[in-house]
Structure 1
Amino acid sequence: MMLSFYILFLVFGIPWTSPTTIKSQNGFTPCEFYPDCQCNKDNESSLYIADCSGLNMTQIRKFPNIIVKLTLRMNSLNEVKNGTFFENRLLRTLDLSFNSINTLWPSSFIGLEQLTELDLQQNSLSRKSLTYSVFASFQSLVYLNLKGNFYQEFQPNISSLVRLKTLKMDFAYKETTILGKQLSNLKRLMRLDLSGFTGNCSIIHLTPQTFQYLPQIHHLNLSMCKIKSVQKGTFDKMKNIISLDLSGNTCLKFQVLENVTIDLQFSAIKILKLNKIHKVFDMNTYLQTSHIRHLNNTAIEEFHLDSNRLQQIESGALKYFPKTLKYVSTRDNMFSIGPYLYDLMSMSIELFDISDMFKAHKEDRHPETCNMNFVCTWHREAQYNENQNIQMKELLFESGQHYHDDNAVTIIPIPYRLKTLRFRSSDSKYKIAAVTLSNNKLERIDVSNNILSQLIGPLKNTKNLKYLNLSSNVCSNISTFFFSPDFNKLEELLLGNNLLGLVLPSDTFGQIFQNLLNLKKLDLSENRISILPNQIFKSQRKLEILDLSSNFLEKIDFKLSHLSHLSYLNLRNNLLTFIDSHTILGINHIVNMSKNLSINLLENRLVCTCSSESFIKWIGSTSVQLVNKYHTFCQLSTGKRILMINIPEIYKRLEKDCTSYEVLISVLVVTILLFFIVLILGFSYRFRWKLRYFYYMVKIRSRSKIPQIDEDENEYMYDAFVSYADEDRLFIHTQLLQTLEKENGIRLCLHKRNFLPGNDIATNITSAIHNSRKTIVIMTYHYLKSYWCMFEFNMARMESIYERNNENVLFLVVFEQISARDFPLHILEVVQSQSYIEFPNDEQGDVVFWLQLVTALK
């Protein structure tokens, strides 16, 4: 039985699932008459469809006459007793496949005169069971499957099935390869399946006599029948044949094609399958004109040549295909550049599948033993000269062979009527530079799962292209001009599973996709994208589906609001914690216009904290369809992950937790900050001169450019520093300097004379005051208006307080009459608390003034 499951897996390409699961998924419920079986009503007849498969039944029970279709496959049945179905005269379909039935009695199927389909495949039926009388009961049978029952030469007598249209059976022989004369009664038989893929087939040689009694066949499947030769005339009488499958007969080789195609000329052939008629490790093959030229006289529509190690085609051979040919499949071959590429443009095909080139292979598990292992030799016309080879290299690009010229334009020959081109999984390592397609009607191109690492372009002459698949190409670079203006009809672009996260973040102005004005679907999944620029999708106003799943997006920076047709945004499996308010506004704008938007946020790092409060509220109120919203998790501030099942409750909880202290904390923080700011500002203003004094004193001492006083000996560089306004310099440089310094030997420091060049003014002033015993202030209105005079005055005050132990170093000389209200408060305080001297400006008073001044300074 497990072998049967394995065969099902091979044939249908799907994993085996239990019958009960399959039935429950298709709306079946337990039958009233037999609960172990599953039933469903047939819409046309109102009778029951009963499925009793996989129940390990050992015998067939009696079923009521209310069933139109009965399935008993995959049980343990070993016989069908006489009269088993006598009462089931309404039964139309009976499936007894995949059992162990070895015995059929003459009356096993009596009562099934109206049966139209019978499946007995994969049992153990013998010659004794498959007798004429067994099939005599069937008067309406149109479908019969006997595959997987006999392994030796045997042809059951089914001549009574005159209405039969489809026959599937084994065909193994020892001596003869002729299908029996008894089949000549089956005038309505149209479909004959002898394939060894689903049964047992061994027809070493096909001769004109093999199918002589079945000239009416429309569909003939001879795949994997171990055929080694086909004689001319084998299919000559089959003028009505529509499809012929000779695939999987690895001993045939291309040399047999001429015998096949010459028989098929003038027939009704539409589909010809010649897949894998060479062994896996045969020499590379060469398709010649003689192999296919007779097809020119047919109306063939499909031609399959997969897995034949095909490398070259004779020049001109492709021109023999008729104009009716629409679909060509040459998957899993090994094509190389050749002159035949020019012939492609003359073909009328609409779909061309050339995928899986250079695919890795393993030897067949049970390879055929051929009479002789044919070694393919090149046809003499295949030896094209070197000039032709160079021309072909100029025509097409091949990895590492295009003269290393990035500015060269590559021209690709395309059949004019071709609409679909598939070039998937071919391990093609190309850097696509400037490429132009020949005149074409291409609508769909699939070049996925290759290694197109750089898309430089431009790619031109794609004016009809609607679908382009460039996914899984390890692509890390797309130029801003790869998608030329010729892509104006492109609707679907697949770029998933690449490395575009390296280039898209730098496309600040949205130039990469700027010409894709009609794009409806864009897939950028699995590209390691961490950020997308704001204008990346600026031109995609018709975009309906945007897939950004499985990237590294932490936030949505790109503009969304203009995508008015967007219906599905896939953000699954990123690093999003929440959607910010700006993006929410853009999404709401889309919803207001289209009202049909779905967003997938599964497998992100969504959080339900105060920072995402507005996002949680939006999820609970928005009309956007969130995919599997009730299977989406978010993380609380405690670290616990919860399902976002009850959004209003989560928001209510957040609102309580986040708003109860938020205002108080905000006010408190602002108040404390304001207090400290005011305190610092007040402190700075109150002690501004002290701070400035200390700053300049530290600066002076750190530079050590000004000689410092010796405090122990109390010596100063100057007896007095004279602080005066520049407008009063005449008095200073004539009378003051003459009287005090020249006549009385008092050393004065004047800024015009004694300040060191290179030091800033404030440093010179502070240094001069610090290195002078006294500071003489010549107080005038000009002095009160001068910034630097005020600076000198305050530095002298700081010096007396912090360096001279409150010794009064200021000596005020009021040079002109100044009203008390004109004095600043800090100067008025000094004037009122300390003695000062007024300049008399008369001859007698001058003598006293200078005497007092000299006495005070000495």
Structure 2
Amino acid sequence: MRQSSAFFFILNCCVLITLIDGFSLSNCTIYFPFEYTGHLKVLCNRMSYWKIPSPLPHNTVNLDISNNAIHQIDETDFIGLSNLIILNISHNRISEIHSNALSDLTNLEELNLSNNKIKSVTTNLFKGLANLSHLRLDSNYLETIENQSFATLSNLRFVNLTNNKLKHLSELHSVLQVPHLQELYLGKNGFSVFNSSDIPSAFFGLKKLDLSRNPLTVFKMMENIFPDLEYLDLSSCFQTKTSDWLILDKAFLNTVKTVNLSRNQIEVNQLDYIMQSFPSVTWMALDGLKGFKAEIFLHKACSPSLRGLHLEDNKLSVLNDHMFRPCALLNELHLRNNGVLRMYKSSFNHLVNLIELRIQKNSLKQLNNTLQVLPNLRILDLHLNSIQNLDCSDFTNLTQLRHLYLHRNRIVTIKACVFKDLGNLEELILSSNRVLTVSGTFTHGPQNLQCLDLNNNKLGAIQNYNFKALNSLETLRLADNQILNIYPYAFAGLINLTDLHLASNKITETSLRNRDVFAGTPNIKSLDVSCNYISYESQEELQSPPFIHLSELRVLKINSQRQNLNHIPSNFLKGLTNLKDFYAGNLNIESLHVDTFSYTPKLTYLDLSSNNLVNRDALTPKLFQPITGLNKITLGKTHLKSLDFLVDANLSNLTILRASMNELQLINQKIIQSLPKLKVLDLQNNSFTCDCSNAWFIDWAFKKNKTQVLYLNRYECRYPLSLSGKSLAAFNAESCNVNYDFICFIYSSSIVFLTLVISFIYHFLKWQLVYAYYLFLAFLNDKKRKQISNHLDFQYDAFISYNAQEEPWVLEELVPKLEDQHGLRLCLHHRDFQPGKAIIDNIVDAIYNSRKTVCLITHNYLKSVWCSQEIQVASFRLFDEQEDVLVLVFLEDIPMHQLSPYYQMRKLVKKQTYLQRPKPGEDTQAFWQKLKIALETKENMEDTQILSGKDV
């Protein structure tokens, strides 16, 4: 359905325009796979919406409207969204949800209403949501939950009501009647009493219950209300010494495997009873207990079934040799943030089954061989301590260790013997230390290491074969060091290395000059050398391209060089035949050589953002022709003035184009048509011209059903100045549309109308038009004559106007009578017209050089063109001079009705003196006498005599 752009701008500032089978978004973002399936993920978060955006694409399956300013949800907000599966409306200001507002969401599975201002769950709130499985109402103002409000949610598995104002379990009856509920979160409410008698019946199926941060003073279970419960969180619940804990039968909580009692105040005399309530617990958290006494608590807590124990924030500054004796069966021990300063060699003697040990964020300075007694250890976390040195024996006997975390310590040097026994180590994190060199550190392995992180250290050089023994290494992180020199074969031996990170060092083009720097690493897939000091002075070919050995490389990042790369040599990417992603942003590049990508035929993503591509020839169509598979390009903040280079670039597979923050003014139809698979277009913050030159783009942006123009309503006009700052979407492109159908209609209608008018005039007004034509010519000639001469002396007494067929009568009778007998001087065509002069000029001269004009009227005279000219000129003289200068002589009988086509003639006959030639047999003497008198009439004679309308 076609709508004007102005309409959609007014409608909600807009949002979305839904077409029959497509979509169009202005302030939201769509995420979908490259192979479009029709299922949309729509993100409208952080857009300052004050109501639900509408209309929304009907095929949306995931909708995020979080972090806006929506106050309520109306009944019509989600109509037609039956395909929706995930809905996130969290972090708004919703206080009211109308009944049945969600009823159209029949396929909804996840609903997030957290962080709003909802006070009550009404009976019809969730009506129609039969498929809902996850519900979040945490961080609201819930005080009441009406009965039967959860009755229709038969598939509900997860409910979060944390951080509300619920105070009594009786308010949860509707929730506790959900048949298949598995996880229920009730933390940080106002429950002071938890009594099983407040729950109507056993709640089968519930596996996880969170009651943390409630001010409980009573915890009583007189019935087995949670027969399937596996996880119970009671952290920060018991803050008084008088807390009443009563479990009628310890078998009631026999199924609980994980319990969290952290940050409570538990009396020693209560501890034993509480621990007996969880006979089968395997994982327990006792973090931050008030008045924690390690030996007593651990003696009570470490049951034969316990396998995991959290003891964070308990101020265990010293780990003595008998502290963990009761916990011999532990597999997992967390001692984070206890201020541990010292460990004894025998501190972990009894924890031979320990698999995971975390002592992070403490004050350890050395290990003192304390870990040798843990042969089964697989995860060791020692980060955020103050360790400076590692001895060769610190990790002796830890042959099963898989993950070792030593980051954020103060380690300076690492001897080659430190990791010699860690034959199964897979991950080693040494970042954020003070390591100066790795020369010799990994001479003996570990041979199975897959990830080595040395980021943020003090390394200055990578020498040849430094990592040769790490032939299983897949990821090597060396970013944020001071690496300047990289020797040939520095990474040789890393035959399985796929990811190499060298960002934020001091690497220059000289560091990469030797083509063997990356030799011996045939399987690298990703290389990051961004934020270094690589720079080239020209685009000339390099003698030794730096990546010639990296034929398997897929991702290369060279962006943000600290000295500005300026130029990319034409063969800089030589050897990268499988490169797919190339990041070259923020390099101050002014242009690219046309052969730059001739070595990377499989490139699919190109980032050239934040460069200086102000020249129109900086990017040419030929540059892109070798990379026809490109499907994403980023050109933001590059000073681009035009995208015309895309027209002939042959980028038929491009799906995402980002060119925000440029100087683009016009987007023409050819550019868009050259990108047939375009799905996402981002042109924010450009210098758009708001006139008809952009009308096609504006119209297309709203009507397209395959491409989304990101944040369309944020596009502003820059030109003309009168519209600067106005929304591009508000420009009415409809006014620019040329309706060719309408023009053709008007044109054809005009032709038909003119044809009819001309036919009508020709048939009914032919002679009037002829008369008007000659009248006009006479008028012109009369004016011309006046300009030439104003004299009153006449050359002739009369000009005789007649038709050629009357010439015998004129010569035989008229001339002899008037010239011979009466001595008058007549002007005749054949005798007195000047040869070679225009006929009309001769007529004018003859009339104005004669005292009178005599028109001999016959039928032939009326049909003659020249006779008409003569009588018209004479008429003008008559009307202009107001004197008796015209004499009409009818030589034939012409009835008045036959003069109708000759309007002027008829008018003259009615007003002017005229004579009728005698018929044969009649006396002619009177006729000639009257004619002589008419020709001799003086200029000052009475008008009544001249214009009598009768015979003289």
Q: TM-score range by the shorter chain?
A: 0.5 to 0.7
User: In 1, Cα distance between the equivalents of 2:675 and 2:450?
Assistant: 43
User: In 2, Cα distance between the equivalents of 1:222 and 1:829?
Assistant: 120
Correspondence 1:265-344 to 2 at 5 A: 267-278=471-482, 285-295=484-494, 298-312=495-509, 313-318=512-517, 320-336=519-535, 339=542, 342=545, 344=547
Which residue of the other structure, out of 298, 307, 318, is the alignment partner of 1:128?
A: 318
Which residue of the other structure, out of 219, 224, 241, is the alignment partner of 2:427?
A: 219
Contact preservation (8 Å) 2:701, 2:708: no
Which residue of the other structure, out of 428, 435, 442, is the alignment partner of 2:589?
A: 428
Partner of 2:551: 348
User: In 1, Cα distance between the equivalents of 2:644 and 2:384?
Assistant: 59
Shift of 1:503: 5.6
Contact preservation (8 Å) 1:184, 1:213: yes
User: In 1, Cα distance between the equivalents of 2:359 and 2:837?
Assistant: 112
Which residue of the other structure, out of 198, 204, 210, is the alignment partner of 2:412?
A: 204
Partner of 1:777: 855
Pair 1:456 & 2:620 matched: yes
Pair 1:252 & 2:459 matched: yes
Pair 1:139 & 2:336 matched: no
CA distance 1:559–1:262, shift in 2 (3 Å): closer
Partner of 1:494: 657
- Answer with 1 or 2: which has the greater Rg: 2
User: Could you list the per-position Cα deviations for residues 658-687 of structure 1 after superposition, in whole angstroms to 9, with x for gaps in the alignment?
Assistant: xxxxxxxxxxxxxxxxxxx9xxx9xx9999
User: Could you list the per-position Cα deviations for residues 758-817 of structure 1 after superposition, in whole angstroms to 9, with x for gaps in the alignment?
Assistant: 9996x998999789765433323333224564465466556656x456x66542122445
CA distance 1:228–1:319, shift in 2 (3 Å): closer
Pair 1:192 & 2:397 matched: no
Partner of 1:544: none
CA distance 1:35–1:336, shift in 2 (3 Å): closer
CA distance 1:180–1:431, shift in 2 (3 Å): closer
Shift of 1:261: 1.3
User: Could you list the per-position Cα deviations for residues 585-611 of structure 1 after superposition, in whole angstroms to 9, with x for gaps in the alignment?
Assistant: xxxxxxxxxxxxxxxxx994499xx99
User: Could you list the per-position Cα deviations for residues 97-128 of structure 1 after superposition, in whole angstroms to 9, with x for gaps in the alignment?
Assistant: 9x89997733556536667777778x695523
Correspondence 1:232-247 to 2 at 5 A: 232-234=440-442, 236-247=444-455
Partner of 2:712: 572
- Structure 1, gaps ≥5 residues long: 1-14, 280-284, 362-395, 403-409, 535-550, 577-601, 612-676
User: In 2, Cα distance between the equivalents of 1:43 and 1:419?
Assistant: 53
Which residue of the other structure, out of 295, 312, 316, is the alignment partner of 1:106?
A: 295
CA distance 1:289–1:418, shift in 2 (3 Å): same
Which residue of the other structure, out of 637, 642, 649, is the alignment partner of 1:477?
A: 642
Contact preservation (8 Å) 1:356, 1:423: yes
Contact preservation (8 Å) 1:206, 1:234: no
User: In 2, Cα distance between the equivalents of 1:156 and 1:770?
Assistant: 140
Secondary structure of residue in 2 paired with 1:556? helix
Partner of 1:656: none
Partner of 1:541: none
Contact preservation (8 Å) 2:566, 2:588: no
Contact preservation (8 Å) 2:819, 2:825: yes
CA distance 1:57–1:719, shift in 2 (3 Å): farther
User: Could you list the per-position Cα deviations for residues 604-634 of structure 1 after superposition, in whole angstroms to 9, with x for gaps in the alignment?
Assistant: 4499xx99xxxxxxxxxxxxxxxxxxxxxxx
User: Could you list the per-position Cα deviations for residues 340-385 of structure 1 after superposition, in whole angstroms to 9, with x for gaps in the alignment?
Assistant: 7546344232422224232489xxxxxxxxxxxxxxxxxxxxxxxx
Partner of 1:398: 567
Contact preservation (8 Å) 2:416, 2:443: yes
CA distance 1:503–1:603, shift in 2 (3 Å): closer
TM-score between the two structures when normalised by the length of structure 2: 0.54
Shift of 1:306: 1.1
CA distance 1:115–1:412, shift in 2 (3 Å): same
Shift of 1:293: 2.9
User: In 2, Cα distance between the equivalents of 1:140 and 1:838?
Assistant: 145
Secondary structure of residue in 2 paired with 1:225? coil
Amino acid at match of 2:475: I
TM-score between the two structures when normalised by the length of structure 1: 0.59
Partner of 2:363: 150
Partner of 1:46: 207
Q: RMSD between aligned alpha carbons?
A: 6.0
Pair 1:29 & 2:29 matched: no
Contact preservation (8 Å) 1:722, 1:775: yes
Correspondence 1:366-385 to 2 at 5 A: none
Correspondence 1:525-604 to 2 at 5 A: 525-526=683-684, 556=699, 566=706, 572-573=712-713, 604=729
Shift of 1:253: 0.9
CA distance 1:514–1:37, shift in 2 (3 Å): same
Secondary structure of residue in 2 paired with 1:706? helix
Which residue of the other structure, out of 686, 693, 706, is the alignment partner of 2:787?
A: 706
Correspondence 1:427-826 to 2 at 5 A: 427-430=588-591, 433=594, 437-438=598-599, 440-453=601-614, 454=616, 455-458=619-622, 459-479=624-644, 483-485=648-650, 487=651, 490-497=653-660, 502=665, 504-505=667-668, 510=670, 512=671, 519-523=677-681, 525-526=683-684, 556=699, 566=706, 572-573=712-713, 604-605=729-730, 706-707=787-788, 709=790, 723-724=801-802, 744=823, 774-786=852-864, 789-790=867-868, 793=871, 800=878, 803=880, 809-816=885-892, 818=894, 821-824=897-900, 826=903
Secondary structure of residue in 2 paired with 1:167? strand
> How many pairs align?
652
Shift of 1:221: 0.7
Contact preservation (8 Å) 2:256, 2:278: yes
Tell me which of the two structures has the higher relative contact order, counting C-alpha pairs closer than 8 angstroms and 6 or more residues apart.
2
Which residue of the other structure, out of 920, 924, 934, is the alignment partner of 1:856?
A: 934
CA distance 1:500–1:324, shift in 2 (3 Å): same
Contact preservation (8 Å) 1:311, 1:334: yes
CA distance 1:45–1:439, shift in 2 (3 Å): same
Amino acid at match of 2:608: V
Contact preservation (8 Å) 2:681, 2:710: no
CA distance 1:119–1:170, shift in 2 (3 Å): farther
Percent identity reads 17
CA distance 1:165–1:497, shift in 2 (3 Å): same
User: In 2, Cα distance between the equivalents of 1:187 and 1:154?
Assistant: 17
Amino acid at match of 1:824: S
Amino acid at match of 2:415: T
User: In 2, Cα distance between the equivalents of 1:160 and 1:751?
Assistant: 147
Amino acid at match of 1:457: P
Secondary structure of residue in 2 paired with 1:272? strand
Shift of 1:273: 0.8
Shift of 1:413: 2.2
Secondary structure of residue in 2 paired with 1:856? helix
CA distance 1:412–1:216, shift in 2 (3 Å): closer
User: Could you list the per-position Cα deviations for residues 132-187 of structure 1 after superposition, in whole angstroms to 9, with x for gaps in the alignment?
Assistant: 62696471315555433337557796778776533333365577433874x55655
Secondary structure of residue in 2 paired with 1:811? strand
CA distance 1:135–1:23, shift in 2 (3 Å): farther
* Structure with greater helix percent: 1
Shift of 1:202: 0.5
User: In 1, Cα distance between the equivalents of 2:729 and 2:771?
Assistant: 59
Amino acid at match of 1:356: N
